[in-house]
Every structure is written in C-alpha cells, then in structure tokens.
Structure 1
C-alpha cells in the first residue's frame, strides 16, 4: 500500500501504541505487522444504533466470560472503536488468526454450536406479552388469506392465455404445492399460538446477525472463534437461525440432511422452547418471498423474463427444502416422544423432556425483555 494511503491506519494504530512495519490490504480488514505481533485492523461505518448494538454485544459477551469470539483490543484511551475524522470511518483492532484447514461440513457444525452458546450465555427473560401474541396471530392469518387469494387470481389470469410465459408456466406447475404449503404454514401458526397460551416468560439473546461459516476462524490448536458482529442485535434466538437456514436452503443443491444435523447440534447446546421452534418453522416455510416475486413480475416491466424466472425457481427450491427440513425435524421429535412413552410403559424409567423438542439441551432462566 502507498504511504499516502497508509496515513489513516498509522494514525489509528498509534492510539494502540503500535508502530506498523508493514500493512497488507484485505479489503475492509488490514493485516498489520508490528514488533509486538500481527494484528487485524477492521474498517466499519456504523450508524449510532449499530454502534450501540456492537458495543453492547462486545461488553455482554466479555462480562459473561464467553471466549470463543475473536477478542477486540482496547486502545490506550480505553475504547473499542476509534474514529478517523478524515475518512469518516471507525476501526477496531483484533489479533490476526491464520485460519486453519477445517472441512466445510465441520465448519457448519461448529458454527451452530457457537451460536447456541452465545444465545445461551446472553439470554435474559421477562413476562410474556400475550396481547402481542394475539395481534401477531391475527395479522398473520390475514396475510395467509391474502397470499392465497392473490395466488388464485394469478393462476386464473395465467390459464386464460393461449401461450403462457416461462414464468407463468413455472408458477402454474407448482401452484398446488404452493397452496398446500400455505395450509402447512397456517397449521404451524395455529400450533404456535396454542403453545403461547401456556407461556409465562419470554426470552431474548444477543444474535450475531450474520451467521456464516466464513465468519468462523480456527487457531493452530483447532479452536474456533466467531467474528464479524457488525450486524448484531437483541431478539429471540430464532432470528439468527432463520437468517442462517434461509441462506443455506437458497443455494442449490440444498443439503437438507446436513441442515437437520446443524439443527441438532444447535439444540444440543441450547434448547428452543416449543413456541420458539414453531415460530421458527412458521417463518421458514411461509411463502412471502414467492408472493413478492409474483407481485414484481406483474408490476415491474424492466426486469427480464430470465431473471425473474430464476428468482422464482430458486425460491420454489427454497420452499421445498424448508418444508422437508421442518418435516424431518418434526418426525424426529415425534419419534423420540414415542420412544419415551414406550420406555415408560415398559418400566424403563425413561425421563421426559420439559419441551417436545427432540434435540435436548438445558433451559436457562434470567432477567428479560420481550422482543419479536
């Protein structure tokens, strides 16, 4: 990097009492070589809200003694973030970890384990908001009815044509499956609402906000560390899982069998309650993305037929994969229930879980706020 380009980084590094010998450019991350060691300097642009969330996550994880995140160093004036007035950017400093060679499938398992641990150690609980549950339930029912009506109108319009477009043909081919999925979503929503009626406490955790195996590093001993908490927020842990599984199932081919294993790994380290699990399944299987694509097709003439067909096909694959994932998890839960009942009937003394989630972990109680 040119000396003129390096000036902002030198100014920032002096606040950590570091004198760089050499700096390598990795985009938003700079690899800094010093006599004290090798460091990673990350450049960020935070809004005030993002900055507060980031600092809360860093401090909360540190206070809870969680050590499987890449540490963020304090500057000489006791700050985690340092501003550069000339560029308007902020920076934070971390140790440089040379990422070890780990199999891709193992990375996903380790990611789920670390996400579960973060959710567990940062969990707080409080009184459940039943009036909000009812409002959410009624609004969601109305949304399902609207989507189904729109789907029926669009297939009627498409079938009136002598020659359908590729988009319309693809949609009509999967129309029956789409309507069945809406029925499945409705049943899941009803089950969720029933589960909330017995709910006295609600819980939230610190969510990473961008779970990805690319945000996991391994040191020379093989220990894993999460980094990139730039999108962190506080909410139910299902929102971290929802974003992760949606992205995982949007790729092709979808690895549904592996995804079941990822869910098991998470659940062994942090158990979702019945209502949390059902709400996750509701969000995973609802067809709102397909509904938006159909609306875009009808209202945006600038988008090409090829582009919109690809979007619809990928969303259909995602819907199918999500349904298979949820079905397999539900079957596993039911099988374990049956085995527990069989053991009790035969005097096996089998212990039943507090939750119907078959992938058992321990529930943690603490302080809380309600956040959906």
Structure 2
C-alpha cells in the first residue's frame, strides 16, 4: 500500500487507512494522523512559509511531523508527502463567533509575519496604468452595450435586466477607479510595501479546533508572501456570494481583524478599490455579448442576477467601511492639538 510505504519513514505501523481526496486518515500504532500530498514545486514555498511562521512565534498551524531522518516531507513518485495530527474539530460555537476567531487568528498570523520589502516605482506605475486602462475599456464596453440595448424596440430579458442594473454597476466601477487613483497618488513615491505570509485558501473549513479549543489553520499549501488583502478579499467576496443580505457580519469580521492588525491608509484604499470593483458583473455581460458557453437566455439572466446580488451585498459592505474610515479620520483630526 502506498501509505504504508511512506509511513515507514515515520516508524509508524499502519492499522487502517481512510481516503479523503488528497488526505489520507491514518490509524496507526501511535495514534491517528493525516497524510497529505503536495507537488514539489508548490511544496518549496509551503514549507519555507511554514518555517518562517514558526520562527516568528506563530504556532496556530496544525504541526507537521518530521520523518525519522529529520525531513518534513517524503518525495515519492513525483509527489511530496507530509504528516500531521488528525484534529477532530468538535467545536460547536455559533457561526459568527467562529468567523471572529478566524479573523483574529489571521490578524495574528499576518502581524507576526509582516515584513516591508522594496518595491520598484516603475512597476507600481505600470500596474496602476494597466489596471486603469483595463477598467476604462470595461466601462466603455458596458456603456456602449447599454446604449445598443436602449435603441432596440424589444429588448431581450437579459438586456432589459442589464439596463436596470447598469447604474449600480457603473457606480461601483467609478468608486473602484476613484479609490485606485487615491491609492496611487498616496504611494507613487513609496519605496517599500508591507507583505505578510498569507494563508492562500482562507476558509472557515480550513480553521479547525484541537481538543483544548484552540483554533488552528490547515491547508496552507497556497500560502504566499504578499500584501494582506490577498487573504481578506477572496474570503469576503466568497461570503457575499449569496442572496441579498445586509452584510454587517462581514464588516464585523473585517474590523475584528483590523483591531489586531490595522491596515495602513494606502492599504485600505487599495482594499476598498478591489473590493468594490464589479468584475464578475461585467464579465457576465461580456459572456452574454460574446455568447460564451452556449447558455440559454434564462441561464444568462440567472447568472447576471446572481452577480448583481453579489454587487449589492458588497456595496453594503463598502459603504459601511467608507463610513467607518471617515469617522476614524474625523476622530483623528479632533485629537490633533489646536493652534
């Protein structure tokens, strides 16, 4: 058996193996373990980032056990295998509290791994110019498409729905452009940028509890050293992909994170820009225009409606963030000594 051959390097006698995709649950003479695989290419960054977190004093990661010869992974048939304890994750707390703890732990992980690295001014300018040019083309596309729809005597159901949504999509895009411009004006002369070790696949399913009730991150195979919004944005956007809702809980999660690891003003500007950007709504329109996927009219309409729900859910969060950041600025100004 494949697992038995690998586990010889750990001096474990296998009693039974259960398969869970890329994870094997190992029942052995020394307890229950999780045996996972990762590609050697991705494994180099993964183990380096894990080691970096340990060195910085962050230990809320499910530990990786070394083999008898000290290696943290065993290479076999082009795959890297590594061994961890199998945590039962019996925590039964409320959903919101679990998310609050996740964001608190994420903030601690980012705070302990934060590092400023040099950044090339030309590269920043190139990124800004490319992004603004791309967004400008997208704005021109949706403006031209809405004009073509409005000229028709009879619009299709998709075209009619898009015309109803157009103002909100355009407003979100303009807001994203405005925040991106503010970010660039504030950072164009900066020579450094803050990076952290990100989780890479942040999910509530990847935050589990040990038998003492402490939360631990798992599945850090996609971890990278990048700015913190690389963790925050995907999680919040994924959470907001639901029916129309007022996402106060999303805002609470974010500001719980910010309590332990505040974003700088320029980092918040970039975060607000990317969060507000209505890329998925615009892509739905382009898919319809180019008839990608060969879907039915109903399917295209359903897709646009779902993306619009996302846009409105995000709009609520963006508005709340804008209000709170404005209050923080006003409070800071009030605290300044009067001349």
**Same fold (TM > 0.5):** yes
- Structure having the higher helix fraction is 2
Cα deviations by residue, 1:294-345 (Å, 9 ceiling, x for unpaired): 2221222612323322222222122222222122112112223333444557
CA distance in 1, matches of 2:293, 2:265: 44
Distance in 1 (CA, whole Å) between partners of 2:284 and 2:321 is 28
- State the alpha-carbon separation in 2 of the partners of residues 144 and 223 from structure 1: 43
CA contact (8 A) 1:260 1:329 kept: yes
Q: Which residue of 1 aligns with 2:55?
A: 63
In the TM superposition, 1:14-33 aligns within 5 A as 14-33=8-27
Alignment correspondent of 2:34: 40
Offset of residue 255 of structure 1: 5.2
TM-score, normalising length from structure 1?
Answer: 0.84
Question: Which position in structure 2 is the counterpart of 1:96?
Answer: 86
**Which residue does the alignment assign to 1:84?**
76
Which residue pairs with 2:214 in the alignment? 223
* Contact kept in structure 1, 2:180 and 2:273, CA below 8 Å: yes
2:107–2:258 contact (8 Å) kept in structure 1:
yes
Whether contact under 8 Å (1:248, 1:254) holds in the other structure is no
Distance 2:283 2:328 in 1: 38
CA–CA distance in structure 2, aligned partners of residues 117 and 254 of structure 1: 29
Select the residue among 310, 318, 330 that pairs with 1:326.
318
Quote the offset at 1:234 in angstroms.
1.6
Which is further off, 330-339 or 148-157? 330-339
Residue 204 of structure 1 corresponds to 195
Matches within 5 A, 1:68-217: 68-85=60-77, 88-100=78-90, 101-197=92-188, 199-217=190-208
Structure 1 runs not aligned, ≥5 long:
1-6, 347-372
Question: Within 2, Cα distance between the matches of 1:156 and 1:258?
Answer: 38
Counterpart CA distance in 1 for 2:86 and 2:182 is 47
After superposition, residues 351-366 of structure 1 pair within 5 angstroms as none
Structure 1 partner of 2:45: 53
Q: CA deviation at 1:97?
A: 0.9
Distance 1:78 1:95 in 2: 17
The structural deviation recorded for 1:107 is: 1.8
Aligned length in residues = 337
SS at match of 2:10: coil
**Matches of 2:51 and 2:244, distance apart in 1:** 39
Q: Which moved more, 1:144-153 or 1:250-259?
A: 250-259
CA 1:116–1:287: 2 relative to 1, 3 Å: same
Deviation at 1:219, TM superposition (A): 1.6
Q: Taking structure 1 as reference, are residues 306 and 92 closer, same or farther at Cα in structure 2, changes over 3 Å only? A: farther
* TM-score (norm. length: structure 2): 0.92
Pair 1:236–1:340, CA change in 2 (3 A): closer
Of stretches 75-84 and 7-16 in structure 1, the one that deviates more from structure 2 is: 75-84
C-alpha RMSD of matched pairs (Å):
2.1
The answer on 1:269 being equivalent to 2:263 is no
Contact 2:40/2:80 (8 A) holds in 1: no
User: For 2:35, what is the secondary structure of its paired residue?
Assistant: strand
